[in-house]
Amino acid sequence: MVTLTASHIAYLIMILIILILLLMRKDIILPIILAIFLIGFLSTGNILKAVQILYTAIFVSGKRLWQIIVIISLIISMSKALDDIGADIIITKPFIKYLKTPTFSFWIIGFLTMFLSFFIWPAPAVGLLGTVLINPALKSGINKISLASIVSIFGFGVALSSDFFIQGAPSITARAAGIPIHTLILTSLPIWATASTVSILILYFSTLQQSKIQQQNNHLDVNSIDKPSPPFSSFVVSIIAVVLFILDIILMLLFRIHSNAATALIGGTSIIVLIASTIVQKNFLDKTREYLREGFITGMRTFSPIIVISAFFLLGETSMAKEVISPHAKGYLVDLGMYLSQHIPLNKYTVSLLEFSLGVLTGLSGSGFSGLPLIGAIAKTISSTLNLNPAILASIGQIAAIWTGGGTIIPWSTVAVSTVIDVEAEKIAKKNMVPAIAGLIAAYFVTIFLL
């Protein structure tokens, strides 16, 4: 039996305060710092250790985010270099003829993001697509916030919550639930399809309405290109960039390169393209340094508050709590989830809501995967007690966890998209809130029906 301590109660109260502040559009950095110190003090009873925990939590959070900070910074550096030599015009020109209306842009960008995310995961996919599709999308009448929402919903929501091909998420959930992976995937299809369809349709009509308002105000000309014609060297660099990234995709598919390995491949390729973009310019030695400096300054400026925010919510994970507080610590979100499971009446309505709530709760850490072992284990235990299908229960938990923490409605999980497309993470989360929550609620009712 899980017993809630003062630190558990304080952690839950601070989450509620932070969510209220977010809804009020207030900055949450200071409350987050105070919350980390409070949790550190309540969990150890020692002010000195609480001060140390305050630093250690932020340090460990930064260490966990460092890979994504580096890849995003490199992509920004490369994008700036391509932009300066006019290669962005050359690369995006073939897309402009297809992305002439908001409707075409929405579906083409959405499904392209989903397809790549299925095979190489969303973060590398965003890096590949972001620099290529931003200008054509903007010229078609879709603003940056809508573009960021499209990429995050299709990639970090639709594709990642199913993970049909790489099978990272379902393998974790299925193992904990004691069921075959293919059983979980097949069972989750109607639940996943419901959440995805509802979210996409709501986002589509919202984007279309926003685009009409924008076009009326700005009178966008989708065929206009303001920059002069690039030199021949820019065409060569553009061909190199496109060929290398297409080769990356082929290699990822052939050799099943994904996750961190896929990110590393994209990052290395970005450096090569950056070098090619600087060699054709004057003072290319200085240019290389300048582009890298600009990229990392932008990356760190974006991620610095995210590191602090993640430090608090990652304390909800058992592994993070052990690393920061003590080897005997348990994740606060995990404990709160276990406590809920032990104190509610059991029927198909409440257990579905429990799995749904566990997914949302553990997703608050900003990692959609951290709660999957708990979700699978609870589904296994409850299903044997009530004679319910464990795959159905595990599916709604997995989908809720990844839609919440994978990169759609939690601001500190949308930084990959916000940095590449240059949109505030809070604005992306706010734009995604209604489509994602509506999709999850619809998925919950389908789960009840299937049980």
Instruction: Give residue-wise pLDDT tens across range 132-177.
Output: 778 788 888 888 899 999 999 999 999 999 888 777 788 888 888 8
User: Do residues 412 and 367 lie in contact, with contact meaning Cβ atoms separated by under 8 Å?
Assistant: no
CA dist 351 → 194, 346, 380, 448 (Å):
19, 6, 12, 9
**Among 92-96, 307-311, 320-324, 343-347, the least confident range:** 92-96
Report how far residue 329's alpha carbon sits from residue 310's, in angstroms, rounded to the nearest whole number. Answer: 18
For the stretch 412-440, pLDDT in tens is: 788 888 888 888 888 999 999 999 999 99
Least Cα distance to 367 among 312, 313, 427, 415 occurs for 313
Residue with the two structure tokens 């590398």: 124
Task: Tell me the pLDDT band of 131, cut-offs 50, 70 and 90.
Answer: low
3-state helix, strand, coil in the chain (%, to 5): 80, 0, 20
Max avg pLDDT among 9-13, 201-205, 330-334? 201-205
Write the CB contacts of 287 (distance below 8 Å, at least 6 apart in sequence).
81, 278, 281
Neighbouring residues of 382: CB distance < 8 A, sequence distance ≥ 6: 341, 346, 351, 354, 388, 390, 393
| Residue pointed to by tokens 């639709």 | 158
pLDDT at 220: 45
> Structure pTM?
0.77
pLDDT at 215: 65
Per mean pLDDT, which range of 126-130, 206-210, 330-334, 434-438 is the poorest?
126-130
Give me the residue spans of the domains in the chain: 65-154+196-218+226-308
Please choose, from the candidates 120, 169, 127, the residue with its C-alpha nearest in 3D space to the C-alpha of residue 151: 127
pLDDT at 342 over 90: no
The Cα–Cα gap between 196 and 443 comes to 9
Q: What is the pLDDT of residue 224?
A: 44
Question: What percentage of the chain reaches a pLDDT higher than 90?
Answer: 35
Position 189 scores a pLDDT of 96
In the block, which residue shows the tokens 């995604």?
432
Instruction: Identify which of 128, 88, 131, 423 has the alpha carbon closest to the alpha carbon of residue 238.
Output: 88
Higher pLDDT, 179 or 258: 179
43-47, 101-105, 129-133: least confident range: 129-133
With bands split at pLDDT 50, 70 and 90, how would you rate the model's confidence at 257?
confident
Burial class (CB in 10 A: 0-12, 13-18, 19+), 350: middle
Is the confidence at residue 129, as pLDDT, over 60? Answer: yes
For residues 209 and 146, the answer to whether their CB atoms sit within 8 Å is: no
Over range 351-376, report the average pLDDT: 83
Q: Which residue has the higher pLDDT, 185 or 335?
A: 185
Mean pLDDT along residues 347-355: 90
Mean pLDDT of 249-273: 84
For the chain, what percent of residues have pLDDT higher than 70?
A: 95
pLDDT at 221: 45
8-12, 180-184, 261-265, 426-430 — which is least confidently predicted? Answer: 261-265
Angle (nearest 5°) at CA 79 between 78 and 82: 85
Give the mean pLDDT of the chain.
86
pLDDT-derived band at 188 (thresholds 50, 70, 90) equals very high
pLDDT at 110: 93
